[in-house]
Amino acid sequence: MRYAHTVEKVRAAEGAQMALLPEGTLMRRASTGLATVCARLLGRVYATRVLLLVGGGDNGADTLYAGGELARRGARVTAVLAGSGAHEAALAFFRAAGGRVADGAGVPESEIDLVIDGLVGIGGRGALREPYAALVRALPPHAAVIACDVPSGVDADTGEVGGEAVSADVTVTFGTLKPGLLVDPGASFAGLVELVDIGLDLPEADVVAATTADLRPPRPTVESDKYRRGVVGVLAGGDSYTGAAVLAVGSALHAGAGMVRFASTEGVVDLVRQRWPEAVTTVLDATGLDRADLDRVGRVQAWVAGPGLGTDARARDLVLAALATDVPVLVDADGLTVLAELGPGALDRAAPTVLTPHAGELARLLGAERSDIEARRLHHVRLAAETFAATVLLKGSTTLVATRGEPVRANLTGTPWLAAAGTGDVLSGLAGTLLSAGMPPAEAAATAAHLHGLAARIAAHPDPRSGPNPITAWDVLTAIPAAFRQAP
């Protein structure tokens, strides 16, 4: 598991440690770790050309110390001092090691092998000011870039980017990850994130990200039967989007559901029955549907409501009927459009609810602009979890899962090829199956997102010796068993 803490918690932990250690100990631990990663990236340090972008804070000091260590190993290291005042001891160490300070605040025109970004520390907020923004714009295009703790221009707590920001190949962060390194848009500027342990004693994390080794998807035992493994009900598909039903049901089956009960109009039921004879189907053609109609479908342990369902009165009735049950309900796609019209009061229920919007759907739910959702993903997923008293899975380049009172979960798997029609329907069936197996809602949502991303990677990279292939939702669906095999 990877843990990320806010700047406030990091500062408090650093303060507690500094009170117990000789002055400068934490800084030298951080700078040594930074220099080690730089040396590894360079491969051969001697005679390489390294540029330091140095601000006036602790990150600037870390950068100067790391640059001095590289200079001691024979690198030609130049520092651009952009802040109001460099750390005196760090600057003295850097000069004594053979580093030189550039004249003026511009980027030298000579060829550079590596840039170390130490302009702004984890306390930076808002858009970069000059001369920092100009230095970022002038970065050598072919040099590798390592960011110290967090790329300058990225908000460490939120991942928000207000203007110019350093796009790093590697970010070396200290003590713990920062939320902005796990959440887009900031995560897309961080590159590969390397954590240097400097001995901090930290409280509960604010954002966590599971590795595949952390997954614990449900597995059948010798005592399992189809009911113990989980029965998931799926309300999906309509006249316009019949494929959503086929994908959601197929995903649930591939994810290991003991039984899938599917209900929709006669035409959609016929399609699902032809493709998935394992599914138990019920025709619900009437209007004015309510919970009693769902009881007629049969006992389930979780409902998935919404993929391709439409947004008419019948769809509204089905979503409300599912929410009236006493089992977990996952609402997706058209179901979220219906819910946006109904308002948060529709989720006043005892059983768990999981919402799985993309940015546009969350914008409708919250009455916000899509661009603002994408710019402040962490803020809005937390807001939605509070507003709707639900677990909210915000889909996107970095999927986030929020539940009141718990750390936000960030998913680090996936591929840009997932941006394809129908992949969300596959995620719904997968997550609904995990809910039906008894997983807590946040864990089920985060595990589903992780497995969904793994399946997409497997589908897109069938041959590790070649580049990625374009994929469809069907490819992701059929790769779900292979994703499960990668979990412990």
Q: What CATH number should be reported for the domain holding residue 66? A: 3.40.50.10260
Confidence grade of residue 245 (pLDDT, cut at 50, 70, 90): very high
Binding site: what residues are annotated?
58-62, 117, 121-127, 132, 149, 152, 244, 308, 358, 395-399, 424-425
Domain end (from 180, 208, 236): 208
pLDDT at residue 106 greater than cutoff 80: no
Residue 220: predicted pLDDT: 80
Mean pLDDT check: name the lowest of 171-180, 218-227, 387-396. 218-227
Residue 239: predicted pLDDT: 81
Q: Which long-range contacts (CB under 8 A, 24 or more apart) does 290-299 make?
A: 290/317, 290/320, 290/321, 290/324, 291/321, 291/324, 291/325, 293/321, 294/233, 294/263, 294/321, 294/322, 294/325, 297/233, 297/261, 297/263, 298/231, 298/233, 298/261, 299/231
Domain end (from 151, 175, 208): 208
179: nearest Cα among 56, 38, 2, 413 = 2
354 is written with which tokens?
């999981």
Residue 464: predicted pLDDT: 75
Binding site for AMP: what residues are annotated?
395-399, 424
User: What confidence tens digit (pLDDT) does each residue in 345-388 have?
Assistant: 999 999 999 999 999 999 999 999 999 999 999 999 999 999 99
Mean pLDDT of the 204-229 span: 87
Same domain membership, residue 391 and residue 280: yes
127 is written with which tokens?
């858009």
Same domain membership, residue 217 and residue 200: no
Strands 408-410 vs 400-402: parallel, antiparallel or unpaired: antiparallel
Same domain membership, residue 225 and residue 121: no
Same domain membership, residue 348 and residue 280: yes
Number of domains comprising the chain: 2
Confidence grade of residue 105 (pLDDT, cut at 50, 70, 90): low
413: nearest Cα among 425, 403, 423 = 423
**Greater confidence, 431 or 138?**
431
**Greater confidence, 269 or 110?**
269
d(CA 324, CA 304): 13
335: nearest Cα among 425, 228, 231, 400 = 425
Domain end (from 208, 229, 261): 208
Strands 207-209 vs 192-196: parallel, antiparallel or unpaired: unpaired
Same domain membership, residue 384 and residue 257: yes
Binding site for K(+): what residues are annotated?
59, 117, 152
Mean pLDDT of the chain: 94
Same domain membership, residue 137 and residue 13: yes
pTM of the model: 0.94
Residue 104: predicted pLDDT: 66
Same domain membership, residue 257 and residue 337: yes
Same domain membership, residue 217 and residue 194: no
Residues of the chain with pLDDT > 70, as a percent, come to 99
Same domain membership, residue 69 and residue 92: yes
Binding site for (6S)-NADPHX: what residues are annotated?
58-62, 121-127, 132, 149, 244, 308, 358, 425
Strands 302-305 vs 329-331: parallel, antiparallel or unpaired: parallel
Same domain membership, residue 66 and residue 153: yes
d(CA 488, CA 272): 32
- For 207, the enclosing helix (H) or strand (E) is strand 207-209
Mean pLDDT check: name the lowest of 30-34, 56-60, 94-98, 243-247. 56-60
388 is written with which tokens?
């709707």
Q: Which domain holds residue 429?
A: 212-486
Same domain membership, residue 200 and residue 316: no
Same domain membership, residue 92 and residue 31: yes
User: What confidence tens digit (pLDDT) does each residue in 89-104 have?
Assistant: 999 999 999 999 987 6
Q: What CATH number should be reported for the domain holding residue 272? A: 3.40.1190.20
